Amino acid sequence: MKLFGNTKVVNNEIYFNGISVTELSKRFGTPLYILDEKNFINQINLFKENFASDVLETKLIYASKSLLNLYIAKIIYNENLYIDAVSVGEVFTILKSGFDPSRIYFHGNNKLKEELEYAIKEKVGTIVIDNKSEAYLLDKLLSDDDIQDVMIRLNPGIEAHTHEFITTAKSDSKFGMSIYEKETLNLIKYLSENKKFNFKGIHSHIGSQIFEKSSFFKEIESLCDYALNLKNLGIQVREINLGGGFGVYYTQNDRPLDLKVFLKEYIKYFEEYILKIGLDVESVAIEPGRALINQSVYALYKACLEKKCGERNYLFIDGSMCDNIRPALYGAKYEACVANRFNDSKEELYTIAGKCCESGDVLIKDIELPKHQEGDLVLVPSVGAYTYSMSSNYNKNLRPAMISVNEDAKVIVNRETLEDLIKNDLF
Ligand code: LLP
């Protein structure tokens, strides 16, 4: 199993910045989400240092849907990043953290009227328009004195090889406007001629958990060619936003790009391509979520009971698909270990399952672990992205607490309480 960041094995037990998992479980309980803050900041710096250019501005936008709470938003702001939001709830959380609204990119294929009104009221920096009806609606909602920065989300029709549920740029995808449709051009003309809009540029996001460089390079070519077409029509594209999608390691089957190398190649490819076709843009942005946060969060569970069902040997943990839906939803795979007995010989084949009334509530199928003993703690790495953010209260399970381990450990998101479960119930 691969460990990341500031974890160490001391006397057969995993430590986070000098604190053992046993101590963490005693102090904070389980299930527990553990943020390795230093590793997160290192990863942000890796992006900053390698996605950098001498000829144009580079922007790093954190896709907050991957993991968002006040603490994370504060880190993102302090590190001088921009942030992407797709709902009023995300915008609200980001603003509550003290974030400068002008650094927010507001996305979404189906922004509600109330959400657009909220974004206007709160002076959200950039609204990334997904479609024609949204543009007309926004026009109606803006007053005559407003000038709103907007971009348009384009669908370049590039198929990235990833899970069907997380591809976004196939021709029939619900996101953005196709670069092959005349209507898209008409919409851009409308945005660039309308006094209430300041048309900044174009955006695309071709999918998530992508490993092939070629998909990213194809996207650069396709967006830059499109921007050149616009230039020839007298419409200036000042910013190109290439979206996120950089794949990460979950198990040995994943072969992520080495970002230290790839990000340099990526920006160089962009610089050379615009030079080659004679395009000038002021800034280029990327919007990673998973590749920024995923490797800096671990989930810690108590192993509770075991049970043999035919050939299958279940190890039940105190968490469930409520705190990580990804295996049930996408067939996602994870690694895990017994963190308080890390090097013990792994003589049992277990299926780690949760507590929900769903046969699909299985975290890991067939994993070799030491024979279960009371007090065992199961640690799952690589759970920063799309786990807590997609969590639920199904079966009235409580959402776990989240802690940050830096010099010491502190709670950054409280564990839900039983009272939280009924706080909105009236009768
Ligand atoms: N920008 C836009 C417009 C997006 O829609 C997304 C992700 C991102 C950026 C960030 O993508 P990333 O760098 O994290 O791959 N729930 C799925 C992933 C859905 C991704 C949705 N959009 C999962 O658990 O794998």
**CB 66 less than 6 A from any atom of ligand 1:** yes
**CB 156 less than 6 A from any atom of ligand 1:** no
Instruction: List active site positions.
Output: 357
List all residues 6 or more positions away from 180 whose beta carbon is below 8 Å from its beta carbon.
157, 171
How confident is the model over 304-342, as pLDDT tens digits? 999 999 999 999 999 999 999 999 999 999 999 999 999
CATH superfamily of 7-36+294-421: Lyase, Ornithine Decarboxylase; Chain A, domain 1 (2.40.37.10)
Nearest CA to ligand 1 atom 24: 386
Query: Distance between CA 413 and CA 71 in Å, rounded?
Result: 8
**CB 319 less than 6 A from any atom of ligand 1:** no
- Which residues in the chain are classed under CATH 2.40.37.10? 7-36+294-421
Nearest-atom index, ligand 1, CA of 208 = 15
* Range 22-27 average pLDDT: 98
- Average per-residue pLDDT for the chain: 96
Contact 337, 1 (CB under 8 A): yes
Q: What pLDDT shows up at residue 169? A: 57
**CB 286 less than 6 A from any atom of ligand 1:** no
**Which DSSP helix (H) or strand (E) runs through 153?**
strand 148-155
How confident is the model over 38-48, as pLDDT tens digits? 999 999 999 99
**CB 88 less than 6 A from any atom of ligand 1:** no
- Which residues in the chain are classed under CATH 3.20.20.10? 107-288
Contact 256, 213 (CB under 8 A): no
Q: What pLDDT shows up at residue 331? A: 97
Nearest-atom index, ligand 1, CA of 107 = 3
Regarding the domain delimited by 107-288, which CATH topology (the fold level of the hierarchy) does it fall under? TIM Barrel (3.20.20)
11: left (phi over 0), alpha (psi -120 to 50) or beta: left
How confident is the model over 388-420, as pLDDT tens digits? 999 999 999 999 999 999 989 999 999 999 999
Best residue among 106, 153, 173, 208 to mutate for probing ligand 1's pocket (most ligand atoms within 8 Å of CB) is 208
Structure confidence at residue 161 as a pLDDT band (50, 70, 90): low
Task: Give the closest residue to 67 by CA, choosing from 289, 371, 284.
Answer: 289
**CB 289 less than 6 A from any atom of ligand 1:** yes
How confident is the model over 215-244, as pLDDT tens digits? 999 999 999 999 999 999 999 999 999 999
Write down the pTM of the prediction. Answer: 0.97
Hey, what are 213's tokens? 């460089």
E-only strand ranges, 5-76: 7-10, 13-16, 19-20, 32-36, 57-63
Nearest-atom index, ligand 1, CA of 390 = 16
The percent helix, strand, coil of the chain (3-state, each to 5) is 35, 25, 40
SS3 23: helix
